[in-house]
Amino acid sequence: MDDLPRLALSVRQPSAWAIIHGGKEIENRSLGSIRAGRMTTGTICIHAATGMKEDEYRYLHWRFAQHGAICPRPDELVRGAIIGVVDVVEIVTESDSPWFGGEAGLRLENPRSVDPIPASGALGYFEWSAGGRFAPVKPWMRRYDRSHGDDRTGSLFPDSGPTYKTPPAKPWRKP
């Protein structure tokens, strides 16, 4: 733990998972949040935020599958912890990356996972310290695939992507 960067960025799941394990090379932010959060280039820890809403998970689960990243079930995603390290190599306002989808973003390289370390998060870059507990699993997370048409559980092909009759609605409004 002593060799981990002291600065971290808190990212909601499943985006935090996708940065470390799913090839997500851009973390989208507004220019205002990049400035306010004193975000610059350098090596940082990725903190999986405690919050995760069902509509956000559903949309991102579907969206990530479009890029070949099949994320774990919501009850398997660690929240409230440092989960990895990544190099922020550039702040971009344009990108051809399929992961770019906002006003600006942090271009990321060299993701490395670490054993989860419980820690509290904060906005922007923050100095983290170990402590606390992992966020508890919410009831909707346990019943997710049984109630939303994702038939991976009990399927002959459990590693196949999510199945949806129609793409989920994007849970965020455009600014």
Q: What gap in Å lies between CA 16 and CA 77, rounded to an integer?
A: 9
Place of tokens 């929240």: 79
Is pLDDT above 70 for 144? Answer: yes
The pLDDT confidence band at residue 149, using thresholds 50, 70 and 90, is very low
Average pLDDT value for the chain: 87
The predicted structure's pLDDT at residue 153: 43
The pLDDT confidence band at residue 23, using thresholds 50, 70 and 90, is very high
Amino acid at 51: G
Is pLDDT above 80 for 146? Answer: no
> Does residue 147 sit in helix, strand or coil?
helix
Is pLDDT above 50 for 147? Answer: no
State the pairing for strand pair 42-48/7-11: parallel
Q: What is the per-residue pLDDT across 112-126, written as a single tens digit (0 to 9) for each?
A: 999 999 999 999 999
Place of tokens 């009850």: 75
Amino acid at 7: L
Q: φ and ψ at 56, to 5 degrees?
A: -65, -45
The predicted structure's pLDDT at residue 127: 97
The predicted structure's pLDDT at residue 66: 85
Q: What is the per-residue pLDDT across 29-43, written as a single tens digit (0 to 9) for each?
A: 999 999 999 999 999
Q: What gap in Å lies between CA 122 and CA 128, rounded to an integer?
A: 9
Is pLDDT above 70 for 152? Answer: no
Q: Which residues pair with 113 in a beta bridge?
A: 84
Q: What gap in Å lies between CA 76 and CA 31, rounded to an integer?
A: 32
- Tokens representing 11? 């990212």
Q: Report how far apart, in Å, the C-alpha atoms of 20 and of each of 13, 24, 113 are.
A: 11, 8, 6
Is pLDDT above 90 for 8? Answer: yes
Tell me the residue length of the chain. Answer: 175
> Does residue 115 sit in helix, strand or coil?
strand
Cβ-Cβ contacts under 8 Å for 152 (sequence gap 6 or more): 73, 145, 158, 159, 160, 162
Q: What is the per-residue pLDDT across 41-51, written as a single tens digit (0 to 9) for each?
A: 999 999 999 99
Q: What is the per-residue pLDDT across 50-60, written as a single tens digit (0 to 9) for each?
A: 999 999 999 88
